[in-house]
Amino acid sequence: MKELIMSLSLVLICALPSHATDGDPVALGDSCLEMHDTFGALEHYGAALALDSSAAVVRKVARCHYMRGDYGRCVSTMLPVAGPGGDSLSLEQLRYVFDSYRQMGETAQVVTWGQAILRRCPMDGEVTAAVAQVYISDNAYSPNIGRNLAWSYLKRDSTCIPVLRQYADANFLLKDFDAAERAYLSLMELGDSTYNTIYSLGMTYMQTERDSLARLWLQRGASLARLWLKRAAEKSGMKNAGCLYRLGIVCVDMNLADEGIMYLNLAFSLMLPDQRVAFVVKRALGEGYYKKGHYWSAIYAWEEALRYNRNSMATIFNTAQAYGLVGNDEKEKAFYRAFLSMAALAEPNETLDGMVRQAEAVVGGHEDFKGAIVGPPI
**Is 84 among the domain residues?**
yes
Note the pLDDT of residue 273: 60
**Is 300 among the domain residues?**
no
> Is pLDDT above 50 for 299?
yes
> Is pLDDT above 60 for 269?
yes
Give the pLDDT band of residue 221 (cuts 50, 70, 90).
Answer: low
Q: Which of 304, 303, 313, 324 is nearest to 355 (CA)?
A: 313
Separation between Cα atoms, residue 7 and residue 163, nearest integer Å: 63
Mean pLDDT throughout 208-217?
47
Separation between Cα atoms, residue 197 and residue 264, nearest integer Å: 22
Asked if residues 367 and 344 have their Cβ atoms less than 8 Å apart, the reply is: no
**Is 173 among the domain residues?**
no
**Is 25 among the domain residues?**
yes
- Which of 329-341 are b and which e, b meaning 16 or more Cβ less than 10 Å from the residue's Cβ? eebbbbbbbbbbb
Note the pLDDT of residue 342: 92
The CATH number assigned to the domain holding 68 equals 1.25.40.10
Give the pLDDT band of residue 22 (cuts 50, 70, 90).
Answer: low
64-123 tens-digit pLDDT: 999 999 999 999 999 999 999 899 999 999 999 999 999 999 999 999 999 999 999 999
Structural domain ending residue among the three candidates 73, 93, 113 = 93
Asked if residues 272 and 232 have their Cβ atoms less than 8 Å apart, the reply is: no
**Is 363 among the domain residues?**
yes
Separation between Cα atoms, residue 80 and residue 75, nearest integer Å: 9
Asked if residues 150 and 129 have their Cβ atoms less than 8 Å apart, the reply is: yes
Q: Which of 100, 105, 99 is nearest to 140 (CA)?
A: 105
**Is 106 among the domain residues?**
no
> Is pLDDT above 80 for 15?
no
Separation between Cα atoms, residue 122 and residue 96, nearest integer Å: 18
Residue 145's Cβ-side half-sphere holds a number of Cα atoms within 13 Å equal to 15
> Is pLDDT above 70 for 8?
no
Q: Over pLDDT 90: what percentage of the chain?
A: 59
Separation between Cα atoms, residue 331 and residue 296, nearest integer Å: 12
Separation between Cα atoms, residue 265 and residue 284, nearest integer Å: 10
The string of DSSP letters for 301-316 reads HHHHHHHH-TT-HHHH
Mean pLDDT taken over the chain = 86
Give the pLDDT band of residue 36 (cuts 50, 70, 90).
Answer: very high
Backbone φ and ψ for 309, nearest 5 degrees, come out as: -150, 100
Length of the chain: 378
Structural domain ending residue among the three candidates 28, 59, 93 = 93
124-174 tens-digit pLDDT: 999 999 999 999 999 889 999 999 999 999 999 999 999 999 999 999 999
Q: Sort residue 84 into left (φ over 0), alpha (ψ -120 to 50) or beta.
A: beta
Residues 6+ apart with CB under 8 A from 140: 107, 108
Separation between Cα atoms, residue 82 and residue 79, nearest integer Å: 5
> Is pLDDT above 60 for 215?
no
Expressed as residue numbers, the domain containing 27 is: 16-93
**∠ Cα 104 105 109 (to 5°):** 95
Structural domain ending residue among the three candidates 93, 128, 152 = 93
**Is 104 among the domain residues?**
no
**Is 85 among the domain residues?**
yes
The number of folded domains in the chain is 2
Note the pLDDT of residue 69: 94
> Is pLDDT above 90 for 252?
no
